[in-house]
Amino acid sequence: KTQMASSSYFLVIALLALASWQTMASDPSPLQDFCVAENSSHVLVNGFVCKDPKDVKAEDFFLAAKLDMPRDTNTNKVGSNVTLINVMRLPGLNTLGISLARIDYAPLGENPPHAHPRATEILTVLEGTLYAGFVTSNPDNKFLSKVLNKGDVFVFPEGLIHFQFNPNPYKPAVAIAALSSQNPGAITIANAVFGSKPAISDDVLAKAFQVEKNTVDWLQAQFWADNHN
């Protein structure tokens, strides 16, 4: 009986630890109505220090983002422009676990393969057509994709590599994305691998991609522009 009780005790502890880990894996939840980010604070926490509630104003929850206005998609080679509204731009988002982005696509433009390490994304097409998809994790690496038309919605699970491409050579496209983090982060695969600073050894990348080192050197010499603003 003592052994059984001990086993049950450790099982309960393990389950509680698992539940605690799952809770901590998402953005910190508010324990009050809001926790407006105090961006001037130098205290380092997982998120931002709260502004004193008596100093909070309506402007802390407002941003004249002009998301109805088209963005310039000619500033980079991929032909897209991501306007992200996160906690750094809207302090009232702090601890609320949500952010928003407008994405503009030039004809044949794309939001290249990338991942959000801290957020699931739900995207809806406002104008045009998009070819969108994501790849599941190892070992299957299953590719799931769909052609999206105006009004369609598609979900990209947290942390998985995904993309959107405008297949129309004549018309632009526009989408709005909501993300389940106040600061979802973005890892653009090509930029991270071939545009890292300092550069990853070409020996490493040549082995990983099974190509010649001169191919890797050529890729690392390209200008890997960011499509976020």
Among all chains, which residue has been given the structure tokens 């030039």? Answer: 106
Name every residue whose Cβ is closer than 8 Å to that of residue 59 and which is 6 or more positions away in sequence.
Answer: none
Rounded Cα distance between 172 and 209, Å, is 33
Count, residues in the chain = 229
Whether 116 has a binding-site annotation, put simply, is yes
Whether 42 has a binding-site annotation, put simply, is no
Classify 117 as helix, strand or coil.
coil
Q: 228 forms bridges with which residues in the sheet?
A: 82
Whether 114 has a binding-site annotation, put simply, is yes
With contact defined as beta carbons under 8 Å apart, do 152 and 124 qualify?
yes
Torsion, CA 162, CA 127, CA 119, CA 183, rounded to 10: 120
Torsion, CA 107, CA 104, CA 227, CA 75, rounded to 10: 60
With contact defined as beta carbons under 8 Å apart, do 87 and 27 qualify?
no
Whether 162 has a binding-site annotation, put simply, is yes
With contact defined as beta carbons under 8 Å apart, do 131 and 70 qualify?
no
- Alpha-carbon distance values, 144 to 1, 81, 126, 156 (Å): 51, 24, 21, 10
Q: Please enumerate, by residue number, every residue annotated as part of a binding site for Mn(2+).
A: 114, 116, 121, 162
Q: Please enumerate, by residue number, every residue annotated as part of a binding site for oxalate.
A: 111, 116, 121
Q: Please enumerate, by residue number, every residue annotated as part of a binding site.
A: 111, 114, 116, 121, 162
